[in-house]
Amino acid sequence: MAAAAALLRFRLATSTSLFASQPQCSRVAAQRAAVAVTRPQVRFYAKAAKKSKDKGKEKEKDSPPAKQTKRGISTDKLIPASQRIVSSEEYKKAEGKMQTVLEWFRKEVAALETRATGRVTPALLSPVRVKVADASDSRGVRLEEIATVGVKEGTTLLVTVFEEHTLKSVEQAIYEAKIPGITPQRLDSRTFKIPIPKPTVETRNALYTNATRLAEDARVQMRKHHQALLKKENINKHSPDFTTYQGLLDKLLADLDKILAHLKKTTG
């Protein structure tokens, strides 16, 4: 009986301790859960792969150029100095005046060349300028403006003035033109003839001498226009753009020399 009573007491004590330990276990579990909630969570991510240098260079090549800022200057809009000069208004005006002088010389030489080859045409009298009252040009008017010029039998020029009082002025203008072999002869109050002899060696040399005189006059006129251009543009020999301006004069003078050389070849 005593052993049975002792066994019963042992069982009661064990069950009581178990019931007492259950609340303590619950409190420990609750504390662990609270700590897990309050502890910050740390996440780990994979690192981005590094781009190779070669790929970066290719991207720079393929990428379009950056847009031009307002303060920058676009090279596409820049004009070379030579093109800017030749397109200026003053340059074009001077070039036109110099070209006019060259064309005048070309026509004068063409008339002299015709004379040197023995062909008789009204163009032989193209250098003649007649001084009349109220003339707009100080050198006078062209002969064809106050008279008609014809050819007779291929060897003689016939000049007929429109008004009788201008006959003397026309005759004087022909002498002043100093055309070799040209001597007017009066036929009546309005007409005179000019026999044209066949050109001789002396005549051809005289024609070439006349052409050289005209060439020098043309050179002087071209240089005047060129100097006026340099003065307007404020250009001197030490200016960086002087070569471009000088090139214009050199080119036209070279063309003039070619015309004169051709006449020399024609006249022998």
pLDDT digits (tens, 9 = 90+) for 148-184: 999 998 889 999 999 998 899 999 999 998 887 788 9
The first and second tokens of residue 32, run together, are 């662990």
Lowest mean pLDDT among 95-104, 127-136, 150-159: 127-136
| pLDDT of 194 higher than 70 | yes
pLDDT category at 266 given cuts 50, 70, 90 is: confident
Rg (CA), the chain: 55
- When pLDDT is averaged across residues 135-140 and rounded to a whole number, the result is 74
pLDDT at position 90 is 85
Query: Greater confidence, 236 or 216?
Result: 216
- When pLDDT is averaged across residues 18-29 and rounded to a whole number, the result is 53
Per this entry, what is the length of the chain?
Answer: 268
Q: Which of 133-142, 193-202, 253-262 has the largest mean confidence?
A: 253-262
- When pLDDT is averaged across residues 237-262 and rounded to a whole number, the result is 90
Q: Give CA–CA dist 268/266, Å, rounded.
A: 5
Question: Each residue of 65-81: b (16+ CB within 10 Å) or e?
Answer: eeeeeeeeeeeeeeeee
What's the pTM?
0.54
- When pLDDT is averaged across residues 115-135 and rounded to a whole number, the result is 83
pLDDT at position 19 is 47
% of the chain at pLDDT higher than 70? 67
Q: Do the beta carbons of residue 89 and residue 239 sit within 8 Å?
A: no
